[in-house]
Structure 1
Amino acid sequence: MTQFVAPGATVGIIGGGVAAYELARAASHFGMKTVVLTPQAEDIALQAADYGIVGSARDVHAFMELRDRSTIITYINESVADGDMLADNLNSAQLPSGTDILAFTQDRYLEKVFLEDQKLNVLPYGQVITPDDIEKVLMTIGYPSVIKPIQKAVGADQQLILRSDVDVWRAKSLLQKRPYILEAWLDKPRTLSVLCVKSSRGLQVLPLVETRQDHENFRGAVVPAQVDGSVLIEVLRIAEKLGNKIDYTGIFSVEFFLTAEGSLYVKKVAPGMRLSGDILRAVGRSSQYALHMRAILGWPVPTLQIEGSAVMLPLTADNVDAVNTQIQLKDKWRWQFFPQGNTLRGELSVPGPLRDAFAALDATGAFDVDGLTYVQQLDSEGDN
């Protein structure tokens, strides 16, 4: 059972950006002090922290300072922490979330193996160590496919889609000396995500969200996702199975691909908060950050009551003029802003029936919502 942490303690947060900024703010609402460890001196998360440490989580001196200043420590996702360093230097009371989930989520190949061991449907894949391995794996997978570094901490700029022998030749010339994974590629699948919060009192699966991604860039989210009932039942089954299997405390997500033919594939499992999860604030009375904080502090986690539906969009510098105009016109639109210095300026959530929300956003002529695609889904699945 997670140890109860009383107000006045210090929460150490590994990682930066919006997630760490919001998590530090949530911690302060529970009466906690915060220490943020991030490699960027200008990171916005430092503005919300009581104390900041600039450095890598894999730097021993920076990590030890974080440990010595913190009552408990949490990490914002699987890419920011060194699982071995955490396991070697922290006990379960200091690290409520543990490292079990990091053992497979930091490595794309191990993640696939783990999911297959749970008898879950994943896209065909293979490991690539040398350039010659590409053709061997392609004999099984075929085109199109995508090659990625096995370690998730390596960025999207190291990924390459293979559609022909010409792309294979390019991949061989660009391949660096690190292991890769080659997996089948789906053109324009629907992407679904479900957040779960696990605490000493059990597992809570939150509403299914549909997201829009442009490579690694978040473009929007819709809740609830408009899917067939059989898909929703399978998502819930998978989320509960994984939640019961993983030794973990806090928020984690399970992401899926859904094809036009109705095939559902598990895309990934990830500890910590996701931008798409912020949409829950528009339809619930809490946030993913507050739920995560309650879980790791050993406080009771309430059942999130969901009311209605919503569309959420990220706000960037390109939206500034439109945002300033719409703030004065839309009294029911919900705005969330972040300090300057972050690429993401904020988030806009539009609650209400999805068809009405998309129509209102489209009418502004200022927000890219992929509205036509969603309207087609509403026509086929039934309006919310």
Structure 2
Amino acid sequence: MSTKPIFPGSTLGIIGINRNGGALISCAKKAGFNVGVYVDRAQPNITKMADFTLDGAYNDKEKLMQFGEACDAIIYQTPNIDSSVLRYLGQYAAIPQGINGLEIVQDRLMERAFLDQVNINIAPYVTVIGLDDVYQSIDSIGYPALLKPIQRGIGEQSMIIRRQSDITRAAEFIDTGTYLLESWIEHTHEYTMTAAVSGDDLQIFPVAELNYDDDRQLISAAAPAEVNDDMATEMRRIVKSVAASLQYTGVFSINFYVTSTGTLYVKNIELGLTSIANVYDSTTNVNQYEEQIRAVVGMPIHNITNLQSGLLMVVRNYQSRAIQRQWLLKDNWQFRFFNDVDGNDPQALLGFVWVTGEEDLQALQEQVDNTEVWNTKPAEPTTDEQADQGQSETNE
């Protein structure tokens, strides 16, 4: 990790972006940096604020070299960039976030070994390489179980095994390499704790509670969540332990499960910026983008203060008409919409809504529930639409 300060007027490169990348670019520009972006496919709606953009494959060494030589330092917004790409770029520019932490979180087996090493409670797991291993291991893991590839990355898939008959379907799922078979933790609550770290300097955002639908799509994040003192203390201990051992600089999050008996499990570590942590845009005095820039350029991390309670609501395509009505009505709601949404996908991410005010979280949730925007499901496709979708999938 680089300890050399990066001053305004320098060029900060960003590689590996998603829709949150626009907010990161804007924050870096506001801080006085020139910004270059490297993407593997054109995303002009996100990168238009950057000073320059390079489109190229992540294995195109000539373009990567061109990008590295044009930057003073390079950061990643999401952990989906292979660590070998950053090692190569490190020949030409500083990589202030470091690479060690990225290599750990990209490999589920390494991540779990790391969590074991720092005395953190995780779900039981075994490694498997074929169906025979799954059959032999499932009794020790129990049902339901999750089958996941060891390597994290874009486009990866996981499979849930609820009963023995499901294992036969894993024949198509398991391709080559090593997989992780992990117990599914039945839980009553899910939380995230986000922090920013730079050396010995650590600042922790208020804990956020997450709400998912039956398909495991995020509905909302609420902060600051109400957890008992003992659990909050343990969450903070875990965050501090990870920050002290991961050799990483910047913003990261730890996701938690809590069972009905109050047992706390760590689900995973996420490096970089997340959609969930957008809840702090309107609830704390500093957001994740500002803390990320401060950490990676060598500034002191800003002390975090909670200002108000708030909900971050995720808006999807099928909710567009309903949310437009609230856009005209709600004076305590803030909106961010994306203009590159796939209009044919009802589940595509349309934007975010921040619901804040003087009320507590329960009152804010009741306000949201009364609108019924998030209480309805997308309409089932007609026969013709189903046929079109099937034809499209066949053509692809």
3-state SS, counterpart of residue 172 of structure 1: helix
Deviation at 1:247, TM superposition (A): 1.2
Deviation at 1:341, TM superposition (A): 4.1
Work out the CA distance in 1 between the residues paired with 2:164 and 2:182.
16
Question: Contact 1:3/1:93 (CA < 8 Å) preserved in 2?
Answer: no
Question: Contact 2:201/2:301 (CA < 8 Å) preserved in 1?
Answer: no
Q: How does 1:294-373 map to 2 (within 5 A)?
A: 294-341=294-341, 343-352=348-357, 353-368=360-375
Structure 1 unaligned runs (5+)? 371-384
Work out the CA distance in 2 between the residues paired with 1:314 and 1:47.
24
Work out the CA distance in 1 between the residues paired with 2:36 and 2:89.
17
Which shows bigger deviation, 39-48 or 144-153?
39-48
Work out the CA distance in 1 between the residues paired with 2:311 and 2:129.
42
Please name the residue that 1:218 is paired with. 218
1:172 maps to amino acid? A
Which shows bigger deviation, 182-191 or 122-131?
182-191
Q: How does 1:234-253 map to 2 (within 5 A)?
A: 234-253=234-253
Q: How does 1:1-384 map to 2 (within 5 A)?
A: 2-42=3-43, 44-79=45-80, 81-90=81-90, 94-156=94-156, 158-200=157-199, 202-214=201-213, 217-341=217-341, 343-352=348-357, 353-368=360-375
Residue deviations 1:313-365 (CA, integer Å, cap 9, x gap): 11222232233222222212122233434743321111131121111111112
CA pair 92-251 structure 1, distance change in 2 beyond 3 A: farther
Work out the CA distance in 1 between the residues paired with 2:341 and 2:43.
7
3-state SS, counterpart of residue 44 of structure 1: helix
Please name the residue that 1:377 is paired with. none
Work out the CA distance in 2 between the residues paired with 1:315 and 1:62.
36
Deviation at 1:88, TM superposition (A): 4.4
Work out the CA distance in 1 between the residues paired with 2:376 and 2:283.
19
Cα root mean square deviation, aligned: 2.2
3-state SS, counterpart of residue 195 of structure 2: strand
Deviation at 1:233, TM superposition (A): 0.9
Work out the CA distance in 2 between the residues paired with 1:35 and 1:43.
13
What is the TM-score with the length of structure 2 in the denominator? 0.87
What is the TM-score with the length of structure 1 in the denominator? 0.90
CA pair 201-127 structure 1, distance change in 2 beyond 3 A: closer
Give the total of aligned pairs: 368
Residue deviations 1:288-336 (CA, integer Å, cap 9, x gap): 0111011111122210211221111112222322332222222121222
Work out the CA distance in 1 between the residues paired with 2:49 and 2:132.
49
Taking only the aligned residue pairs, the percentage that are identical comes to: 29
Please identify runs of 4+ aligned residues in structure 1 that moved more than 6 A. Answer: none
Work out the CA distance in 1 between the residues paired with 2:93 and 2:212.
36
2:32 maps to amino acid? G
